[in-house]
Each structure stands twice: as structure tokens, then as C-alpha cells.
Amino acid sequence: MERAFQTALWLLQPEVVFILGDVFDEGKWSSSQAWADDVGRFWKIFRHPPHVQLRAVAGNHDIGFHYQMNTYKIKRFEKVFNPERLFSWKGINFCVPGTQSPVDSTGGPWLISCPCLSFVMVNSVALEGDSCDICSGAEAELLELSHRLNCSREQEHRPQECGDRQRLPASAPILLQHFPLYRRNDANCSGEDAAPPDEKYTPFKERYDALSQEASRKLLWWLRPRLVLSGHTHSACEVLHGAGVLEVSVPSFSWRNRNNPSFIMGSVTATEYALAKCYLPCEDMVLTTYCTAAGGLVLLTLVHAGLVASSFHFGWNMLRKFKTTPGTSLEPLSFSHSLFTMRPVVKDSHSQGTEIYRDFP
């Protein structure tokens, strides 16, 4: 992952990097020391220059599923990944006082804005819909955010209830979250990094493999996104929701979860976006290359030390001394351009051999 990420930074020169959850392996169970160790390892792997923004949403491996998460785990995650709702690009500060969403510890959505783009980052683990404190706070913030987005979309006839609140970019936002929106399974997913055939028709469990139908409808209705990016399933998929809203499930970035990991490179404007799939080297190909190279180095070392030649001559001498039958030895086979000859050697006058000749076409 380190080599792939650093190479991608160098070649593609992205402005913003989004990680769609499960940043850590077992963050939901980590002690304070284990968490600190994992954070240090993460920043070593995903180090980046100051002009590149890196943002991450929480996944179930970071804070646990709904019955495992708590305010402490959410705050611990947000302490690593700055919980600012707004950030600037290219060193130009577009944050206007009074535009930032209220900061709380509910793990609700993060709003990131630039002059023409809005990215809404949602803690999808908190969308259980059971009115727990964290879930209630997250939904309340989503409603507030929905109101702000709707006010910004009204260019001419701005509702009176919007008041003088600072507008967000008028373009539809891009939604980023860990859990995918509800779908039955991956049966309609295709591509070399889609789920394997034996898993495609396995039904998705709501609130575990994907968001519930109710939570999915709320997100689409409240935010009206133009694109949804999600993770969690470790496999790629493209799904159309509602009025043609595209959701792209981004596969895993790690060999731990699949043999052919990949990531998405996107170019986004106020009205359009373009996405491209970037594949990492396949794990089996890399291991085969390493093993072949190691075997070649061992062979070269033995040749250089003279051990291979000695072993070859010893085996050749043993072969020449080998007796197939009493009184008869088998000479080495001789090959020519179009003739194959095998001739037993005559040892005495009582054992006559038969010469065999066969011409190949």
C-alpha cells in the first residue's frame, strides 16, 4: 500500500485524497497504545506533501458497528482526521466566518466546500435509525445540512427562512460514506474487480452489508447528490439510484482483501465529473516475480561458486555407469536435424543388437 500510494501521488498529483472508511484494521477494539501505534503506521504509509488534502470517513473497523461505537471512539477517530467541515484547495481560503456547521461529537456528516464543489462525508455507521443519541444527532445535522444546501440551490427565489445564511456552492454535492446505499446484492456488478461469482447473489443484510432502505431514501432525499462514493464490500460495483444517481462502490486498496486492489481517480467540476479506475499490481503476479527472481539469484550464486558444474559432472558420470540390463549399456541418445537413432551396444558375439532407424518427416 505504501509503494502504491506514494507512486500514485507522484504520478497523478491529486489535490484531495478521500479514504472511504476502514482506515485501521481493528480500531474498534484497539487500546490507547495500539491505536497510537496504528496511527503512526498509517501516517508513514499515507504520508503526503502539505498541499495535498487527505480526508477519511469512519468505517466499522474504525469505530465499530452501531452496537460497538461510542462517543469516545468517534472523537478518537476525528482527532486523527481533522473534523473541520470546510477546507480550502490550492492554498486559497474559501472558508467564510459563519459558514461552518456546528461542531459536535455525533459523528455526523462533514461538509467540505470549494468555490464550486461540495463534498458531504457521512458517518454511515450512525444511520441505524433507532433514535440512539449518536444516531439522533447525526440525523439532526443531516437535516440542517439539507436545509443549507436547499437554500444555496435557490438562486432567484430564496426562501425567507434561509435568512442571510452564507450560501454553499449551488451545484449538487458528492456524497462519500463507508457503507453503500441499499441494494439487494452484487448480482448486477461487473468488471474484473467485482465480487466473485459465488458471492454475487448472496443477499445483503441491511445495516451490516449496506445501509437500510429507509436510511438510503433519506440520504438521497435530503442531500440530492449527483454522485455517491462508498466502500465496505471490498469489491467494485456501479448502481443507479432514484432519478439516475450513480453510486460507485470503490474496491479495497489492500492485498489483504483482494488479489487485484484498485482505486478511483476523479476529476470534478461544478456540473460534470469523470472517473477512472487505477489498478495496483496483482498479488500473485508480484509473488511469482519475487520467487522467480530469488530462484535465479540462487542459481547464479551456485554457478559462480562452481557448485552447479561439479554437481552436473557427478550426475553425468553416474549416468554413464548405470546398467540397464546385464551385458548391455545404453548409449546417450543422439539427435540430428531429421533423424532419431537408438542403437544398443554389442558386448559379445552372443548378444546381437538390432539397430533402429526412424526418419521424421
Residue 8, classed as helix, strand or coil, is helix
Strands (E), 171-260: 174-176, 227-230, 237-241, 245-249
Q: Return per-residue pLDDT of the chain as tens, 361 residues.
A: 899 999 999 999 998 899 999 999 888 888 999 999 999 999 999 999 998 889 899 999 999 999 999 999 999 999 998 765 434 343 333 333 233 344 445 555 655 544 567 888 899 999 998 889 999 988 988 888 888 888 877 755 666 667 665 666 667 888 999 999 999 999 999 988 899 999 999 999 999 999 999 999 999 999 899 999 999 999 999 999 988 899 999 998 888 888 899 999 998 887 888 999 988 888 899 999 999 999 989 888 887 776 665 655 666 666 666 655 455 444 444 434 444 444 444 445 454 544 444 444 4
On the CB side of 236, how many CA atoms lie within 13 Å of its CA? 17
b/e sequence 285-317, b meaning 16+ C-beta within 10 Å: eeeeeeeeeeeeeeeeeeeeeeeeeeeeeeeee
Angle at 275 between CA 283 and CA 264, to 5 degrees: 30
CA 95 to chain centre: 31
Predicted model pTM: 0.75
H or E stretch including 119? strand 118-121
Cβ atoms 120, 174 nearer than 8 A: yes
On the CB side of 267, how many CA atoms lie within 13 Å of its CA? 4
Residue with cell 462533514: 110
Third-level CATH fold of 1-91+114-156+163-284: Purple Acid Phosphatase; chain A, domain 2 (3.60.21)
b/e sequence 152-174, b meaning 16+ C-beta within 10 Å: beeeeeeeeeeeeeebbbebbbb
